[in-house]
Amino acid sequence: MAQIQEGRMPYLGYETYYRIVGENKGNKKPLLLLHGGPGSTHNYFEVLDDLADKDGRQLIMYDQLGCGNSYLDGHPELWTKETWLNELIALRKHLGLDEVHILGQSWGGMLAIIYECECKPEGVASYILSSTLPYNAIWESEQKRRVGYLPEEMQEAIAKAEKTGNYSDPDYDVAITEFMTRYCAGPFGPDAAECLTRKKKAGTEAYVAGWGPNEFTPTGSLRDYNYMDQLKDFSKPTLICNGAEDLCSPYIAKLMFDAIPNAKWELFRYSRHMCFVDEEELYKKVLMEWLNQND
């Protein structure tokens, strides 16, 4: 069983929690994991812990400021791409991660795209863009298309919330739960990995202020996110992963695949938004092969 080390990095007068699995023996570059949300925590990435033993590779995951063990609220002004981008830069420096692979899932993939396009960082061996997006408008339109598959009364509840700005109606909650179950994740039964059912401090403020009230209403600070035209300048090997019933639809994944030079695309046929949970063993196999090919 790989050794697990936890720590905290001072950041903006607060603390960023990180979790390191395994040792960096120098022969394989560590894998740095960027979770979704904003505000979803690192927890679900713990299903990948055994890669430290199976592949002899160190994994680093962390809770971005605003959630989990880095929980903070009452500061909506902090929830911007600059806060999370600078946190990523600071963490690499703090942990001495001169060479890494970076896997970003959902919002974490957006952060990886921002990082590559704006910083052109050195020492990144490859990117894994898992269930993410190149620009907001395509994400919004694809989710609204999927809303059209919900029962009529659920569509009406969502439309009412969008019109009134009241997202606390019980009928809206039922509709969003159904939508997220179809295309995101859950529910998790008693046999699910503990990290998926563990109580966590979700960063609700970070999500709403950064993104918006739901997946198809990007009204937060990230509302102008659009790196589609810059993807052609991606200089690192890039693996794109998504599920057939993912919030990141095959259409969105193909847009990134077509735009990024020499990218590889892996479509998980039986997955939603968390491919590494829905098809865990296949995801790990694909991931290990990719990492070893690009060390």
Catalytic residues: 106, 246, 273
Residue 92: burial class (beta carbons within 10 Å; 0-12, 13-18, 19+): buried
Residue 75: burial class (beta carbons within 10 Å; 0-12, 13-18, 19+): middle
**226 neighbors 110 (Cβ within 8 angstroms):** no
- Give the tokens for residue 159: 């439309």
Residues 51 and 180: their CA atoms lie apart, in Å, by: 28
Residue 141: burial class (beta carbons within 10 Å; 0-12, 13-18, 19+): middle
Q: 262-267: which pairs have CB atoms within 8 A and are 24 or more residues apart? A: 262/237, 262/238, 263/234, 263/238, 263/239, 264/237, 264/238, 264/239, 264/240, 264/290, 265/239, 265/240, 265/241, 266/239, 266/240, 266/241, 267/242, 267/243
Closest CA to 274 of 18, 32, 37: 37
Q: Which amino acid is at 209?
A: A
Residue 256, by phi and psi: left (phi above 0), alpha (psi -120 to 50) or beta? Answer: alpha
Residues 196 and 87: their CA atoms lie apart, in Å, by: 25
Residues 189 and 4: their CA atoms lie apart, in Å, by: 26
